Every structure is written in C-alpha cells, then in structure tokens.
C-alpha cells in the first residue's frame, strides 16, 4: 500500500479505534467477548452494505421492468399511437406494418373474384386476359425473416422482464431478516445468504438483464432495417446508418471499458471481455507461435530447396526436366504433410486450450454445487467456526475502519488453529498487515497508531499462511502473496529499528524475501511483554514448520534456528512456553514429528 | 539424532545441535546432564575439525559465568575462541573452572584441547595462567580430530611453551602436538626448541621420549592413507607426504642433537679421565 494511502487512514483510525469498556479497564477479553464484539461490528457493517446492495439492484430492476413492460405492452397489444417514446413508436409501426404480410391478402382475393364475376358477365372486358383466383403461396421470405427477428426481440425482452420479477423476489428474500435466534446466528444466516449470492453468481445474472435488453433493441433495429430495405432503400439507409452508429458507439464503449478500468463507460460486456482477453491472447499467441514453427519446419520449402540445390536448374537446361519431374512427384506429398501439421498446430492446440477453459469453468461450477451445503441447518450446525471465518474474511474485505479490523483480527486470533477456511483469508490478513506499513525512502515503518493492528494482523497472517501451506502447498494464493510482498516491500527496503522488527523479519522469511542484512535477535526481549514473546515464538515455530515442509523436509532456515539459539541463550532463561516453542523449532529441523506432542515444555 | 554416529547427518544438523546447547547447559545446571552429554557425544562423533558452536558467541558470557565448572570445561573446546579474541575475561573464567574440576581423562582432554586453541590466538595467549599449562603434563590422549592439537602447532605457541622454562611442560606439549593426524603449522620453531632446549647432556631421557614419539608417528604414517582415513577424513595424499617430511626432519634434528649430546658427553668423560 502506498504511504500516502496509509497516512490518510491514520486520522480515521485514531478516531475509530474504540476499545470495549473491559479492555479500557485493563481486563483482557475472553474468546466469547471478542466474538460478541466482532459480531456487533459485523451487524453494523452488514446493515450499511446490504442497504447499498439492495438499493443498487432494486433500482436496476425497476429500470429494467419499466423499460420492458413498455416494450412488452407495445409489442403484444399494438398500442395506441398516443403512447410516446421512440421505442414504442418504432415497434408499433413495425408490427402493424409487417403483420398483414404473413397471411393471404383478402383485398386481393376480393378484387380477383370481382374480376371473374365481370368476366362471366362480359368476357370481352379484359380482352384476351382470363382472370383467375390468385393462389396463396405463403408469406414473402423477407417478411418471415423480419417477423422472426421481431419475435426474438420480443421474447428476449419478455425473458428479461421475467428475470427482473424473479430478481425482485430474490432480493426480498435476501433482505428478509430471520427474527429468531441470537444476533450472532442472524449474522451467520446473513453471511450464508451473501455467500450464496457470490457462489451462484447473482451479480452476473443481474448484469445479464441489461444485456438481454440491449440484444432485444439490436434485433429490433435489424428487423426494421431489413423491412425498410424492401419498402424503400433510401429510408432504410437512414435507419441502417443510425443503427450502425449506435452499434459502433456501443462497441467503442465496450472497448474503452475493457481497456481501462477507470473508464466510466463500463458495461457487462467490457467486464466479460476483460476477463476473457488474457485467455484469448494466450490462445492467439499459441496459434501464432505454432504457425511460425510450422512454417520453419515446412517440408514443402525444404523439398524445393533440396531440389534446387541438387539440380541447380538455372544454369543447366538438361537439369530442368528432371527437376520439374521430381518437383511434381514430391511437392504434393510435402504440401499434404504440411497442411496436416499446420492444421494440427493452428487448429488443434487452440481447440484444446478452449476445451480446457470450458472444462475449468464447468468444473468450478460443479465444485461450487458440491461444496454448497444444501440446507441452512447443515450450514449452521456442525461448523460455526467456518461461518465465523467467512464473516471475518468478509469484514476485512469490506470495512475501511481500522478499529473494526482490529476487533475482527482479535476474534480471529481466538479461533486458531483454523480449519476449513477460505484461502482468501490469508490475503485479507496480509493486506491488513501491509496497510499498517508506511514506506518512505526505502525505509519501512509502522504507521503511528496502528502498532497493535500491525501485531495482530501479522500474527494472523503468519498462522493462516502456515495452515494454508500445510493444507495446500500448491495453492496459487501462496505464490500471489509472495509476488505481492515483493512488490510492496522491495528487497532494498530497510526494516531495521522497527518495534515489530521480528515480525517483519518473519514475514520476510515467510514470503521468501532475503532480509536486508543478517537478522540479529539480540533485542528479542527488549520492549516486548511476556505475552508478546510467547506469541512471537509460537509464530516463528509455525513458520519453521512451513519452511521445513516447503523445502521438502530438509531443514529449517538458518535465521530461525538462530532465533531459537538466541532465545534459549537468554539469561535469565525465557518463559517456559517460549522455550517450548524454541525446542519445537529445533525438533522440526531434526526431523521429529511434533504434531502429537503437547504444547508444554515438559512435553517438548 | 544427536546420539547417532552418522557423520553426514550430524554435520547437516550442526545448527540445530548448536541451538540446543544453551538449553542443555540449563538442564545440566538443574541436575540433568544427559542432554549435554549427548550433545558433546555428537560433537565428538561428528569428526569435524570445525564442529564448533560459532553461534554461541553471545551465549559464551552466560555459559562461563553461570554453568557448572564441569560443563564449562567440557563445552569450551567447541567454543569459537577465534571469534572471541577480545574476551580475555572469558579465558580467565575458563581457567578458574579448570582449577575446580577433578581430573579425569575426559576433563584433561577437553582442557588441553581448549588450552591449545586459546594459546593459538595471540590476543588470548597472555590471559592463560601459568599453572593451567600444567594440564599438558597429564598428557591425555587427544582424539584423531582435534582442533586444539592442530592450531597448537603454531610457532608462537611453541615459543609460549618455551617461555615457561619448564622442560616437562615443553616435552609434554611436543608429545601432544606431534601426531599422525595433523600437519604442523611450523616445524622450524620446534627444531629450534629441540636444539636449544633439549640439547643438554642430562636430557637424554627426554630426547628418548621424543624420539620414541616420533618413531610412533612415523610408523603410523607409514601405514598409509587408507588406514589414516579410517579415523580422519581430512588427511589426503599431499598432507601425508608433507607430514612424513616434517616428522622426518624433526627426527633428524633430534637424532643430531642426541648425537651431539652423546659426543659432548663422551668428550667430557674422556677429558675427565685423561686429565
């Protein structure tokens, strides 16, 4: 995080770091107190978030419904001309004009019968021409096309109206608060609903409604243009021109929205394109490189070259005939082989890539379906911890209040070790920690007033990182965090002299960054309370475990062993639990399985 | 793990064993010396000349002031004395500890090993009390891999031993540092010492002891590299040749001095009878 951004948060934080009354009085909170405090903050944040969420989607749906109902009304009831609006007028005129062309024209039939009647009375009236009843051969092909497009447009708008109505119901269900249960249970219930909204891509469904309307509009424009082309080309050209301009403008805003996230003309299309563009680029790149490789390895070119070098036909007439003979015999085979290879390279590989992409999307959907609990009881009953973790993750992502972050992370510390947590929680903890650091002239410092948050977030991050590493060492989240860390805290950043030097050092180790200089742990005790010492050694022991597993069970990093040595060297000796953690570090390096050993010094 | 004799494993876990040392010392203080014994066993079993606990520099003060004399004496050979060259106070504390422990073979080996290491550091040498040198006369058997014996062959250590003006200490010193396991830093100072300190007529038995030692060493060297590598992997073919030259030269000098002494003795005897 940029230094300025962090600084700007300081004022907010200073005013918002509210301590509970028991903490103010110096009484440490227990686990339940932290939980209750956290869910108090959660309710407040959730109310604000849900209000905004409901307002946004409700307004969108209302707009859609008004637009569609007008269109639907116009399309089905052939409304009166008194209704104003471009869309209604065009649709009305279009439908009225086209609809009769789809069935036999009764006026023509009447005229023909009259002609026959007159002919029966006086067969000289029409000269040699014998009138006959016209045979209905079906509606003109063009009008069928036009009408089909019209009805497609109508169906799309009707479908979007249907979804909009359903959307209103879904939103109402989300907004309805379960009046039973405690405040914590209601919060958990709400989090389940929110998780469902994310898992089932509710936002995307809502975003698709305007897309369907846009498609309906486009279809109407196309149908109008095609119809008018049959009636009058000049008039049709005007409509085609305006429609094309609209389409070009739309494509332009999609392009602009895709190219720049800050562009105000964002549409669902640009969001989709932004997601798909890197994949498309990869496919394009693989196709291009495959084409390049294929051309280099072209058997046709090689055959021609070899024949030219062998016969040298430009200098000797006698060699021309055998040269041509060989070319006729060999080149078609070479071309066939080249076409095969080219097809394999240019078509097969991108096809495989696209296939893999589709498989990945389908798999993620299937996995989501499987991972989602089917009933609310199933969610709430066995794993309240997992729900708490989801609430914590959401709070860290949504809230900008550092006081809320502190309360959230304190609750998280009481829940260690973590189980079944979303890997995104590691990122959230890391982002919070990074948010407490200000870097000025290659020197890192903890933002004033955020020392406690820095401590708690660093420890939470270390533990969550450790547990994720142990549970899923191949997780992409781990790699992303390492990359992010290198970006935020470059190697040349000095971290010496910080009150949280040790924690910073550990974070650096954990994120695979070499420290700026050899870490000295001599100041381990200075300025640290006994509780902090215990926390730090516990975190270092966890890091040792992670690192040991990361290097495939070979060794614990030198710096961490040095930390253990320095801590064990202290005089008077450190606290028993600190010593126990140091012994754990050494035991890990010696390859001992400490998972079944108790936490006390005696056990170690 | 620390009890194992697997040299490679011990070397690879050197840092972990080092980290455990302070805790083992505290355990020893509270009457549980087993862990310390195990660590010392590991250090000996490693057969590493440089199996020293470099990282315990900051622990050295605490160790020498708080640990039991027995623990101090046993741990001190593995302390990085070359990195503690400005800590003469530690040498004095160590010397006090050596004076408090009863003599055993293990203790004598550790004290001599440490003494020679400290003596090899020019800045620390003056802090060694004279009576501490007397440990040399106990002539413990040093292990094949012994840093003290290796670094104790430096010329200034030879000079220091000579300055004590105690022929027993000097002889014991030479008998200890002459071994088939180490190259001599400088045999020149030893040759000088042999010529100047052992040339008197009445020192025949000292010379005989020294010659016997050199014969033993040369005999061991004559058994070849394969035999020596069974106990010390640091010796190579080149080292073996140099050692044979060095000890051969020392023996030559010693025999020469011995002949001179005998000649002088004969001349004196003849002179006595003739005149």
**pLDDT surpassing 90 at residue A400:** no
For residues B95 and B224, membership in a common domain is answered with no
The half-sphere exposure of A221 on its side-chain side, counting CA atoms within 13 A, is 18
**pLDDT surpassing 90 at residue B35:** no
Set of chain A residues whose Cβ sits within 8 Å of the Cβ of B66? 571
Set of chain A residues whose Cβ sits within 8 Å of the Cβ of B1? 590-592
Could you give the dihedral angle defined by the CA atoms of residues A222, A227, A232 and A235, in that order, rounded to the nearest 10 degrees? -30
For residues B113 and B182, membership in a common domain is answered with no
Cβ-based interface (< 8 Å): residues of A facing B? 522, 555-556, 558, 561-562, 564-566, 568-569, 571, 573, 579, 582-583, 585-586, 589-592
Report the length, in residues, of chain B. Answer: 275
pLDDT at A481: 78
The larger pLDDT score, comparing residue B260 to residue A13, is at B260
pLDDT tens track for B241-272: 889 989 999 999 988 888 888 887 777 777 76
The larger pLDDT score, comparing residue A383 to residue B54, is at B54
**Ranges of H-type helices in A201-267:** 202-231, 233-259
pLDDT tens track for A227-241: 888 888 898 999 899
pLDDT tens track for A564-601: 777 777 777 777 888 888 888 888 877 776 666 555 54
Distance between B21 CA and the closest CA of chain A, angstroms: 8
For residues B110 and B30, membership in a common domain is answered with yes
Distance between A459 CA and the closest CA of chain B, angstroms: 24
Decide if B137 contacts B169 (C-beta within 8 A). yes
For residues B15 and B122, membership in a common domain is answered with yes
Residue A370 to residue A75: CA distance in whole angstroms: 42
Whether A569 and B59 lie within 8 Å, measured CB to CB: yes
pLDDT tens track for B188-220: 889 999 888 888 878 888 888 999 999 999 998
Residue B108 to residue A98: CA distance in whole angstroms: 116
Whether B13 and A589 lie within 8 Å, measured CB to CB: yes
What confidence category does residue A337 fall into, taking pLDDT thresholds of 50, 70 and 90? Answer: confident
Residue A53 to residue A66: CA distance in whole angstroms: 20
pLDDT at A110: 86
Report the length, in residues, of chain A. Answer: 604
For residues B190 and B255, membership in a common domain is answered with yes
B255 Cβ contact list (under 8 Å, min separation 6): B211
Q: Which 3-state string (H, E, C) describes chain B?
A: CCCCCCHHHHHHCHHHHHHHHHHHHHHHHCCCCHHHHHHHHHHHHCCCCCCCCHHHHHHHHHHHHHCCHHHHHHHHHHCCHHHCCCCHHHHHHHHHHHHHCCCCHHHHHHHHHHHHHHHHCCCCHHHCCHHHHHHHHHCCCCCCCCHHHHHCCCHHHHHHHHHCCCHHHHHHHHHHHCCCCCCCCCCHHHHHHHHHHCCCHHHHHHHHHHHHHHHHHHHHHCCCHHHHHCCCCCCCHHHHHHHHHHHHHHHHHHHHHHHHHHHHHHHHHHHHHHC
pLDDT at A572: 73
What confidence category does residue A412 fall into, taking pLDDT thresholds of 50, 70 and 90? Answer: confident
What confidence category does residue A491 fall into, taking pLDDT thresholds of 50, 70 and 90? Answer: low
pLDDT at A132: 79
Candidates B9, B23, B78: best to mutate against A (most CBs of A within 10 A) is B23
pLDDT at B157: 92
Residue A20 to residue A18: CA distance in whole angstroms: 7
The answer as to whether B152 is a domain residue is no
Residue whose C-alpha is closest to residue A525's, from A509, A540, A537: A537
Q: Which of A135-149, A169-183, A366-380, A484-498 has the highest mean pLDDT?
A: A135-149
Average pLDDT, chain A: 73
The answer as to whether B163 is a domain residue is no
Distance between A445 CA and the closest CA of chain B, angstroms: 28
Peptide bond into A417 cis (omega under 30): yes
Please name the residue of chain B whose CA is at the shortest distance from the CA of residue A570: B59
Q: Which of A191-205, A427-441, A469-483, A525-539 has the lowest mean pLDDT?
A: A525-539
The larger pLDDT score, comparing residue A563 to residue A197, is at A197
The answer as to whether B90 is a domain residue is yes
pLDDT tens track for A288-300: 776 666 666 677 8
Strand partners, A445: A438
Decide if A209 contacts A164 (C-beta within 8 A). yes
Domain that holds residue B253: 178-275
pLDDT at B115: 93
The answer as to whether B164 is a domain residue is no
The answer as to whether B148 is a domain residue is no
For residues B218 and B94, membership in a common domain is answered with no
pLDDT at B173: 93
pLDDT at A142: 85
B93 interface with A at CB cutoff 8 Å: no
pLDDT tens track for B155-198: 999 999 999 988 899 999 999 999 888 888 878 889 999 888 88
pLDDT tens track for B93-137: 899 989 888 888 889 999 999 999 999 998 899 999 988 999 999
Whether B23 and A568 lie within 8 Å, measured CB to CB: yes
The larger pLDDT score, comparing residue B253 to residue B12, is at B253
**pLDDT surpassing 80 at residue A164:** yes
pLDDT at A293: 66
Closest Cβ opposite residue B18 in set A565, A585, A591: A565
Closest Cβ opposite residue A565 in set B55, B62, B66: B55
**pLDDT surpassing 50 at residue A405:** yes
Whether B16 and A556 lie within 8 Å, measured CB to CB: yes
For residues B125 and B210, membership in a common domain is answered with no
The larger pLDDT score, comparing residue B60 to residue B251, is at B251
Q: Show which of B84, B114, B137 is a domain's final residue.
A: B137
For residues B105 and B236, membership in a common domain is answered with no
Our count of domains for chain B comes to 2
pLDDT at A603: 54
Q: Which of A142-151, A451-460, A535-544, B139-148 has the lowest mean pLDDT?
A: A535-544
pLDDT at A362: 74
What confidence category does residue A457 fall into, taking pLDDT thresholds of 50, 70 and 90? Answer: confident
What confidence category does residue A21 fall into, taking pLDDT thresholds of 50, 70 and 90? Answer: very low
What confidence category does residue A158 fall into, taking pLDDT thresholds of 50, 70 and 90? Answer: confident
pLDDT tens track for A244-275: 999 999 999 988 988 888 888 888 788 878 87
Mean pLDDT (whole number) for A321-346: 79
pLDDT at A275: 78
pLDDT at B43: 74
CA distances from B246 to A528, B108, B144, B233, B260 (A): 58, 27, 18, 20, 21
For residues B2 and B131, membership in a common domain is answered with yes
What confidence category does residue A82 fall into, taking pLDDT thresholds of 50, 70 and 90? Answer: very low
Could you say which residues from 42 to 61 on chain B have a Cβ atom under 8 Å away from some Cβ of chain A? 55-56, 58-59
pLDDT at B61: 79
The answer as to whether B150 is a domain residue is no
Candidates B19, B61, B80: best to mutate against A (most CBs of A within 10 A) is B19
Whether B15 and A558 lie within 8 Å, measured CB to CB: yes
Q: Show which of B137, B167, B187 is a domain's final residue.
A: B137
Mean pLDDT (whole number) for B37-59: 70
Distance between B22 CA and the closest CA of chain A, angstroms: 5
The larger pLDDT score, comparing residue A384 to residue A194, is at A194
Q: Show which of B79, B104, B137 is a domain's final residue.
A: B137
The answer as to whether B87 is a domain residue is yes
Whether B26 and A573 lie within 8 Å, measured CB to CB: yes
pLDDT at A506: 53
Closest Cβ opposite residue B23 in set A522, A562, A583: A583
For residues B131 and B191, membership in a common domain is answered with no
Closest Cβ opposite residue A522 in set B16, B56, B58: B58
Counting residues of chain A whose pLDDT is more than 70, the rounded percentage is 71
For residues B268 and B187, membership in a common domain is answered with yes
The answer as to whether B32 is a domain residue is yes
For residues B182 and B79, membership in a common domain is answered with no
């Amino acid at each position: 995080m940029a230094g300025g951004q962090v600084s700007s948060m300081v004022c907010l934080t200073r005013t918002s770091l509210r301590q509970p009354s028991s903490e103010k009085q110096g009484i440490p909170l227990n686990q339940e107190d932290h939980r209750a405090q956290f869910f108090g903050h959660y309710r407040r944040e959730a109310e604000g978030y849900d209000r905004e969420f409901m307002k946004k989607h409700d307004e969108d749906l209302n707009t859609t419904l008004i637009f569609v109902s007008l269109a639907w009304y116009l399309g089905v009831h052939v409304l009166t001309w008194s209704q104003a609006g471009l869309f209604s007028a065009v649709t009305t005129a279009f439908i009225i004009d086209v609809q009769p062309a789809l069935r036999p024209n009764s006026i023509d039939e009447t005229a023909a019968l009259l002609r026959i009647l007159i002919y029966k009375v006086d067969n000289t009236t029409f000269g040699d021409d014998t009138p006959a009843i016209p045979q209905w051969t079906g509606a003109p092909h063009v009008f069928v096309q036009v009408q089909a497009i019209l009805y497609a447009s109508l169906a799309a708008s009707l479908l979007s109206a249907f979804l909009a109505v359903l959307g209103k119901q879904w939103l109402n269900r989300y907004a309805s608060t379960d009046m039973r249960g405690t405040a914590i249970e209601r919060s958990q219930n709400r989090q389940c609903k929110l998780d469902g909204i994310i898992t089932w891509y509710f936002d995307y469904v809502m975003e698709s409604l305007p897309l369907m309307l846009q498609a309906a509009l486009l279809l109407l424009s196309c149908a109008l243009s095609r119809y008018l082309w049959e009636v009058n080309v000049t008039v049709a050209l005007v409509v085609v021109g305006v429609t094309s301009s609209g389409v070009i403008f739309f494509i332009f805003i999609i392009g602009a929205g895709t190219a720049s996230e800050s562009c105000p003309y964002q549409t669902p299309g640009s969001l989709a394109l932004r997601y798909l563009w890197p994949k498309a680029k990869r496919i394009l790149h693989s196709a291009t490189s495959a084409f390049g490789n294929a051309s280099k390895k072209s058997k046709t070119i090689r055959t021609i070259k070899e024949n030219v070098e062998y016969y040298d036909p430009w200098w000797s007439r006698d060699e021309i005939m055998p040269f041509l003979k060989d070319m006729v015999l060999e080149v078609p085979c070479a071309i066939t082989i080249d076409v095969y290879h080219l097809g394999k390279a240019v078509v097969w590989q991108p096809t495989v890539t696209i296939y893999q992409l589709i498989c990945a999307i389908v798999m993620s959907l299937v996995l989501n379906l499987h991972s989602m609990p089917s009933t609310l009881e199933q969610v709430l009953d066995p794993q309240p911890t997992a729900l708490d973790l989801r609430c914590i993750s959401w709070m860290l992502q949504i809230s900008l209040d550092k006081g809320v972050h502190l309360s959230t992370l304190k609750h998280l510390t009481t829940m260690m070790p973590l189980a079944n947590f979303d890997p995104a929680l590691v990122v959230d903890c890391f982002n919070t920690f990074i948010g407490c650091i200000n870097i000025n002239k290659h020197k890192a410092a903890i933002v004033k007033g955020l020392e406690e948050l820095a401590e708690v977030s660093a420890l939470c991050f270390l533990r969550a990182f450790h547990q994720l590493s142990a549970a899923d060492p191949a997780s992409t989240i781990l790699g992303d965090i390492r990359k992010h860390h290198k970006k935020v805290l470059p190697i040349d950043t000095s971290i010496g002299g910080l009150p949280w030097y040790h924690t910073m050092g550990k974070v650096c180790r954990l994120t695979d960054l070499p420290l700026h200089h050899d870490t000295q742990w001599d100041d381990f005790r200075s300025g640290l309370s006994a509780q902090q010492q215990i926390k730090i050694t516990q975190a270092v022991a966890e890091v040792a475990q992670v690192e040991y597993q990361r290097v495939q069970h070979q060794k614990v990093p030198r710096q961490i062993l040095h930390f253990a040595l320095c801590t064990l060297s202290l005089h008077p000796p450190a606290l028993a639990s600190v010593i126990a953690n140091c012994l754990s570090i050494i035991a890990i390096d010696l390859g001992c399985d400490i998972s079944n050993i108790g936490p006390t010094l005696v056990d170690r | 793990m620390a009890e194992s004799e697997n040299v490679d494993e011990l070397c690879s876990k050197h840092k972990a064993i080092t980290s455990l040392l302070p805790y083992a010392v505290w355990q020893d203080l509270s009457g549980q010396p087993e862990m310390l014994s195990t660590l010392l066993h590991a250090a000996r079993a490693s057969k590493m000349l440089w199996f020293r606990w470099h990282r315990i520099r900051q622990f050295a003060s605490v160790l020498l002031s708080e640990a039991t004399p027995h623990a101090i004496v046993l741990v001190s050979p593995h302390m990085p004395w070359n990195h503690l060259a400005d800590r003469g106070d530690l040498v004095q504390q160590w010397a006090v500890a050596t004076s408090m422990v009863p003599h055993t073979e293990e203790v004598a080996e550790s004290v001599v090993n440490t003494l020679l290491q400290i003596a090899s550091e020019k800045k620390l040498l003056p802090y060694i009390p004279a009576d501490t040198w007397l440990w040399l006369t106990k002539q413990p058997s040093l292990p094949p891999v012994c840093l003290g014996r290796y670094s104790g062959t430096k010329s200034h250590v030879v000079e220091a031993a000579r300055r004590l003006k105690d022929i027993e200490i000097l002889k014991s010193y030479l008998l200890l540092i002459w071994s088939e396991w180490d190259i001599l830093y400088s045999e020149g100072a030893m040759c000088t010492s042999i010529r100047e300190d052992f040339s008197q007529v009445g020192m025949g038995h000292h010379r005989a002891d020294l010659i016997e030692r050199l014969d033993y060493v040369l005999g061991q060297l004559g058994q070849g590299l394969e035999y020596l590598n069974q106990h010390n992997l640091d010796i190579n073919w080149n080292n073996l040749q140099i050692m044979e030259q060095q000890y051969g030269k020392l023996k030559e000098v010693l025999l020469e001095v011995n002949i001179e002494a005998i000649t002088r003795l004969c001349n004196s005897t003849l002179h006595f009878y003739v005149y």
